[in-house]
Structure 1
Amino acid sequence: MLKYVEALFQHINGWGLPVLLLIVGCIEFLFGLYNRKADRNEFILDLLSFAIPKILFRPILAYFSLQLLPVLLPGLQGSLSWVPFFWGAVIIAVADDLTQYWNHRLHHQVPVLWRFHRTHHSAPYMGVAVYFRNNLIHVLLFSQVYLVVTLVYLGLGYPALFVAGMKSIIVAAAHSSIPWDKPFYRIKWLHPVAWVMERFISTPATHHAHHAVTSDDGVGYYKGNFGNMFFIWDIIFGTGLITRKYPSAYGISHYERDEWYAQFLWPVLKSRVRDSELSANGPVVRMDDEE
């Protein structure tokens, strides 16, 4: 049985997830759920954000795991292999997602870090493509994946495979423009399930609120709802807002469509948009963005 489960999640973490997201993306497009504000500049940025990290991360993580970890943690390889699968999955899930919660929160609260994270929020639309939309330097330097790889090195490989697959599905579904959570709010006998679900994992309603342009409407909440896979961190640390409603607009206020190369490779490449946070002499944080 374990063999089949392993094969399933290996496929999800390999070719399975891209194929699944491609299917979801096509559904979003065919049903008019993918916002038409996605022009050529946005499309190039989304495409590069999806493809390039996958190409670069594999050799980097291989070097980190095979060369650096044996030096940093000599003699500890496989030292946690005795941990049962269930508890290993719990350790991986908490270590991975709680770290990402605080990482995400700090990128909204620390001005310099915000400029790295800004790319993820600049999209004036929501969809599975936004899941991958990130500054490349941000992905390579600030990813909690290094922590997960370390736990895999210590012996939690199978649990990590399972958690990675589940997390990818949950986070992609939370970014999707398909409002799959609405039936849980509309159908009365599903209300108890909805109450638990929206407090435990990220849903489209809670995560779309985080990508809203403004919080003035009482629905958007870009200064909270930081949870990635688990929304429960926002409940515990008091940063959650649950309205079961969707924002009317997404992105950053006064977004002037910085060039794809600046958003993808800042600070190596700068934006030519005047007064942009990504321009050579631009502000660290634009006050009218309220970020």
Structure 2
Amino acid sequence: MKVESAIAQRISRDALISILLYVAPIALMFTTFYLTGYKPWQGSNELPFKAPGFLEDVFRNLSSWGLAAIVLGVGVIEFAVGLYENKWTKNERTLDIVCFVVPKLVVKPFVAYFGLQLMPYLLPAAKNIFEWVPFWWAFLIIAVADDLTQYWYHRIHHQLPWLWRFHRTHHSAPYMGMAMAGRQNIIYTIFFSQTYLTVALTYLGLGYAALFVKVVKSLITTGAHSSIPWDKPFYEIKWLNPIGWVLERLISTPATHYAHHADTADDGIGNYKGNFGNMFFVWDLIFGTGIITRKYPTSFGIKHYQEEEWYAQFLWPVFKSKKEGSELAANGPMVGDAVPETETVTLKQETANVAVA
């Protein structure tokens, strides 16, 4: 109870700090307008560069089919270039592919299209109400709001045991790679904020900036899950060290995000109870949930992973696992993101028996 109380107090404190962080870019924007005398609401929020050919048609039709087309297109591209991992079992491969295809090619385009059809009924007077916001200010405001919200969504799924099983699928992968970047339980995906936020912002007139954030974030988060440690040269090449120092504190990199997927924290590298940042790692620094080691864990996943059936991992609690004692089985234990206490005791007993023998 004391541990739960401490977690609740810390979450409450950090939530107050988050409110200030949400407001900060908006306050900074209006302060800048006041000091410079700039009145952008007298103009419009156009993209500061012209998209070529068919892309321009897509952007012009954001309020109808454009957003759905972009979400679908980005999903197909990620699928085509990302699935290079050759160490899958059949179950892991099926799970990764299903977790990619259903959310990105079905759920998100569905939400994008029908969400934009629904918005005029929910907010009939709000269409394009914020189109005056300059592109780069809109980008900053949306990037902070989107990623800070995801940081919290991610964090509470680790810190509240009853939510952990909805996020467990992402951590069950015993490997890193772009193939598993979207590996999530369907409930976790459906309640994920980014698609809904993009839809709402597009209707409100901030579609260009919202989609730009979505693309940039997708590149960063996919790169952080990549099996290629692309950040390594920034630590090993001396003249790149200053860039690496800034980079690893600003955005998620393989070194910082691998730590989050490590199967242990005992080596001083893994930090699966922290390093929650998605696009920005800076949230972990602000809230004290991050560590930076510039090293890479040697093993990933969950130590008590039983390679539960792909359908149980993707569709729990609708479908349950047949693995006895699994968190995803019927009446399975709710253990949070740590090794279950019963398993720890069993391991200690087995070690003691071996020592005696």
Cα distance change of structure 1 residues 179 and 49 upon mapping to structure 2, 3 Å threshold: same
Describe how 1:90-105 pairs up with structure 2 within 5 A.
90-105=140-155
2:244 — aligned with what? 194
Hey, what's the Cα distance between the residues in 2 that align with 1:273 and 1:12?
39
TM-score normalized with structure 1 length: 0.90
Contact 2:149 2:193 survives alignment (8 Å): no
Decide which of 97, 107, 112 is 1:61's aligned counterpart: 112
1:150 — aligned with what? 200
**How many pairs were matched up?**
281
What is the CA-CA distance between 1:18 and the residue it aligns to?
A: 3.7
Over the residues paired in the alignment, what is the CA RMSD in angstroms? 2.2
Deviation string for 1:190-243 (max 9, x for gaps)? 000000000000000000000000000000000000000000111111111100
Higher relative contact order (CA 8 A, sep 6+): 1
Contact 1:96 1:145 survives alignment (8 Å): no
What is the CA-CA distance between 1:283 and the residue it aligns to?
A: 0.9
Describe how 1:171-210 pairs up with structure 2 within 5 A.
171-210=221-260
Larger-gyration structure (1/2): 2
Hey, what's the Cα distance between the residues in 2 that align with 1:129 and 1:92?
27
Hey, what's the Cα distance between the residues in 2 that align with 1:142 and 1:19?
21
Contact 2:276 2:289 survives alignment (8 Å): yes
The runs of at least 4 aligned residues of structure 1 exceeding 6 Å deviation read 8-12
What is the CA-CA distance between 1:246 and the residue it aligns to?
A: 0.6
Q: Which amino acid aligns with 1:61?
A: A
Contact 1:13 1:164 survives alignment (8 Å): no
Contact 2:225 2:257 survives alignment (8 Å): yes
Cα distance change of structure 1 residues 64 and 105 upon mapping to structure 2, 3 Å threshold: same
Are residue 22 (structure 1) and residue 87 (structure 2) matched?
Answer: no
2:99 — aligned with what? 49
Deviation string for 1:172-196 (max 9, x for gaps)? 0000000110000000000000000
Cα distance change of structure 1 residues 24 and 278 upon mapping to structure 2, 3 Å threshold: closer
Hey, what's the Cα distance between the residues in 1 that align with 2:166 and 2:334?
11
Pick which of 277-286 and 10-19 moved more.
Answer: 10-19
Q: Which amino acid aligns with 1:170?
A: I
Deviation string for 1:14-71 (max 9, x for gaps)? 5356435533543xx5xxxx6x3x200000000001101121221233222211x333
Unaligned regions of 5+ residues in structure 1, if any? none
Q: Which amino acid aligns with 1:208?
A: Y
Q: 2:93 aligns to what SS in structure 1? A: helix
Q: Which amino acid aligns with 1:70?
A: P
Q: 2:181 aligns to what SS in structure 1? A: helix
1:2 — aligned with what? 49
Q: Which amino acid aligns with 1:247?
A: P
Hey, what's the Cα distance between the residues in 2 that align with 1:60 and 1:166?
21
Hey, what's the Cα distance between the residues in 1 that align with 2:241 and 2:340?
36
Pick which of 137-146 and 104-113 moved more.
Answer: 137-146
Cα distance change of structure 1 residues 145 and 273 upon mapping to structure 2, 3 Å threshold: same
1:271 — aligned with what? 321
Hey, what's the Cα distance between the residues in 2 that align with 1:112 and 1:119?
14
Decide which of 263, 268, 282 is 1:218's aligned counterpart: 268
